[in-house]
Amino acid sequence: MKIRFLTGCLSMLLALNLFVMASPGFSEDDSPASDPTPPLQALDGPGGSNYSHAGVRQTGYGSGSHEFWIFEPADPTPASAPVIVFNHGWGAMFPVFYRAWVEHLVKRGNIVIYPRYQLTLNIGVRHATEHAIRSVQEAIPILQNGPVQPELENFAITGHSLGGGITAEMAVLAQENNLPIPKAVMPVQPYLRNDTMMNDFNQMPATVLLLVVVGEDDTIAGDSSARTIFSTAVQIPASQKNYVVQTTDRYGYPDLVADHMAPLCVPDTDLVDAMDFYSTWKLFDGLTDYAFYSINREYCLGNTPEQRFMGFWSDGTPVKELLVIDP
């Protein structure tokens, strides 16, 4: 499993690099005239584009596996903002791989900390969570001396792939490492390395709102780690957690594919699509809205129509819904 996972991630990153360099981007002219096109981003609500800020301020700190970036809302600059940690997938060391999602979070009024927990593709994962935690520890005092004060009482963590595993571990280890206690945690297609990472999450704070998200066609991380995180977090009440499966829909063009690359969202490429707007972005927006402001629970928890909804193809056909299951 380890070899298959690492090989798959390397292949994914190589394919992404080639895609970004060579692809002119999808346009409707590339689609057969008769094929419906995917949903566009909604204007309002979780996952939507009705942003409260027009700008994003990015600053970088540290180096190597202790490098991290801080993204803050601007235009206008708020006095304070909630804090979100975004843990990248294996090899996606730079924010460009998730830039569209990061900017979406920031323009909604959040601060985002993006730790780089690995130096190169050759570094092992034994200390990945430790490196990510250290970056967050260093970022918080920087924020406290900056223009946007961090609302440490409103703290959330998300991450993809190995970053999803780190997200779950960081939630467990937050208190003992003097990090804020997270209110919302969302591992996306998480991977846990068996010999170096946790296999039991019953020490995650019982107050957490937890979403675990997997892709039905994810052949790299699969769903084993996701099931471990969800099923061992027994202290979190059922009303505060859901296990969500992204589904593939090939009805129109281009396809909406729930594979391991789905959460990647390089701006101005085909990688930003309804699988982002109506799945990962919507779910995490709803989760943080509910955790921080007690609104929009129906978009993140409870197996509701709003939570499962994935938009409509251009001919009005509903996109296949998300599945909310008990694993």
184 and 288 in contact (C-beta within 8 Å)?
yes
In sequence order, which ranges of 23-127 are alpha helices (DSSP H)?
Answer: 99-107
Strands 68-74 and 111-115: antiparallel
Bin 294: left if φ > 0, else alpha if -120 < ψ < 50, else beta: left
* Residue whose entry in the numeric block shows the structure tokens 């090899």: 91
Give pLDDT, residue 126: 73
CB half-sphere exposure, 69, CA atoms < 13 A: 20
CA 149, CA 146: separation in Å to the nearest integer?
A: 7
In sequence order, which ranges of 108-157 are alpha helices (DSSP H)?
Answer: 128-144
Q: Which residues contact 122 (CB under 8 A, 6 or more apart)?
A: none
Whether a cis peptide bond, with omega within 30° of 0, leads into 254 is yes
Give pLDDT, residue 5: 41
245 and 327 in contact (C-beta within 8 Å)?
no
Domains parsed from the chain with CATH numbers: 2-20+40-325 (3.40.50.1820)
- The H-or-E segment that residue 216 falls in is none
46 and 282 in contact (C-beta within 8 Å)?
yes
CA 188, CA 215: separation in Å to the nearest integer?
A: 9
Q: What is the pTM of this model?
A: 0.91
List the one residue out of 289, 282, 265 whose CA is nearest residue 321: 282
Total Cβ atoms within 10 A of residue 119 = 14
* Residue whose entry in the numeric block shows the structure tokens 């993809």: 160
Sheet containing 323-325, strands listed edge to edge, beginning at the edge strand earlier in sequence: 55-61, 68-74, 111-115, 80-87, 149-160, 184-188, 209-215, 241-246, 323-325
From first to last of its 327 residues, the chain has per-residue pLDDT tens of: 333 344 444 444 444 443 333 333 434 445 566 899 999 999 999 999 999 999 999 999 998 888 999 999 999 999 999 999 999 999 999 999 999 999 999 999 999 999 999 987 765 667 899 999 999 999 999 999 999 999 999 999 999 999 999 999 999 999 999 999 999 999 999 999 888 899 999 999 999 999 999 999 999 999 999 999 999 999 999 999 999 999 999 999 999 999 999 999 999 988 999 999 999 999 999 999 999 999 999 999 999 999 999 999 999 999 999 999 998
CA 220, CA 6: separation in Å to the nearest integer?
A: 8
- At 190, is the secondary structure helix, strand, or coil? coil
CA dihedral of 278, 282, 283, 289, whole degrees rounded to 10: -160
Give pLDDT, residue 32: 60
Give pLDDT, residue 3: 37
Structure tokens at 82: 């909630």
Total Cβ atoms within 10 A of residue 170 = 25
What's the distance, Cα to Cα, between the start and end of the chain in Å?
A: 21
Structure tokens at 291: 């955790």
CA 303, CA 301: separation in Å to the nearest integer?
A: 6
Give pLDDT, residue 23: 36
Give pLDDT, residue 17: 44
Give pLDDT, residue 171: 98
Give pLDDT, residue 27: 42
- Residue 149 pairs with which residues in a beta bridge? 80
Give pLDDT, residue 7: 40
